[in-house]
Amino acid sequence: MKNVSTSVAITLKQVQKTFPDGTLALQPLDLHIEKGEILVLLGPSGCGKTTTLRLIAGLEFCDQGGQILFGERDVTNIAIEQRRVGMVFQSYALFPNMNVSENIAYGLRVRGESKVLKERKVQEMLTLFDLEPYAERGIDQLSGGSVSESLWREPLLPNLKCSCSMSLCLPWMPY
């Protein structure tokens, strides 16, 4: 993959998560990820790895008193759409009824971006990942490696600050 990123640090200060039923999903956590740093979260089932990534992404909000920073920007109470974070889960989350280009464009379509912008951004991502020959192929026609690469294209599109998988978080700002 070609380098397109300008990184941003991620800082968690006293971030904890309690679910509505009273379950403490994440003990208070202080964590600083330097810009450009790759961090692997390892631990037993139920220790808070996924919850931490969901909190960074904005899929969950932390308990009162916690703070999540992207660089100097406090994103603690900002919704996922405005955080610009992409998540790639352990199991593939591509739409089997769409081809590669349509999967890449999905996030832009949902955000209501213009057809011209969608086409330009999709072409940029296909070029970036050297997948132009596969643009019109169905997801079921790709190798496992190509599917994995396809998963990383969509998170790059909306100028994200960070991309997360279930075991890593790569802070970046591609544009």
pLDDT tens by residue, 27-68: 999 999 998 888 888 777 788 888 998 899 888 999 999 999
| pLDDT of amino acid 172 | 38
CA 136, CA 62: separation in Å to the nearest integer? 40
Cα 146–chain centre separation:
18
Class of domain 10-83+161-171: alpha beta
How many CB atoms lie under 10 A from the CB of residue 105?
Answer: 23
**Segment 114-143, tens digit of pLDDT:** 999 889 988 888 887 777 888 898 877 766
| pLDDT of amino acid 86 | 67
Residue 109's φ and ψ, nearest 5 degrees, are -65, -45
